[in-house]
């Protein structure tokens, strides 16, 4: 759709990147950079501004605690361009339903607009700076 798009994908687990290369031909996608790094550290240290940031962070069926930290959310806002969009995939399974409401409130406190959509066991937040 966007042949000139520049995309950076970050994963803490090098094996996941290797699986992506092997089974999804990620190496053949022009403009795609695959980076092995801790997402929290990557965001906190990032200087570049992004038009779109996608957060899809799970360890099994668990969301790392830093995803809900105000410092991390403010860092995400910092790396977004003026018209940037943040898309967050958040768990919506039983134990995360209440937490997702708390998360929504945090997002609404930091960002100008948040739209959320629930699909099965996921809750997606579309966020505007």
Cα–Cα distances (Å) from 104 to 13, 66, 80, 98, 107, in that order, read: 28, 15, 18, 10, 5
Residue with tokens 């550290």: 41
User: CA 113 to CA 10: how far, in whole Å?
Assistant: 25
State the Cα torsion 16-18-20-25 to the nearest 10°.
Answer: 180
- 56 in active site: yes
Considering 11, 13, 51, 56, which one is annotated as catalytic?
Answer: 56
**Catalytic center residues:** 56
């Amino acid at each position: 759709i966007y042949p000139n798009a520049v995309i950076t994908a970050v994963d803490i687990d090098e094996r996941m990147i290797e699986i992506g290369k092997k089974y999804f031909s990620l190496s053949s996608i022009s403009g795609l950079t695959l980076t092995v790094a801790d997402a929290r550290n990557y965001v906190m240290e990032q200087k570049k501004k992004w038009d779109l940031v996608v957060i899809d962070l799970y360890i099994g069926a668990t969301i790392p605690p830093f995803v809900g930290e105000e410092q991390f959310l403010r860092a995400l806002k910092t790396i977004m361009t003026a018209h940037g969009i943040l898309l967050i995939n958040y768990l919506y399974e039983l134990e995360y339903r209440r937490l997702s409401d708390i998360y929504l409130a945090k997002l609404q406190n930091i960002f100008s607009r948040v739209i959320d959509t629930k699909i099965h066991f996921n809750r997606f937040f579309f966020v505007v700076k």
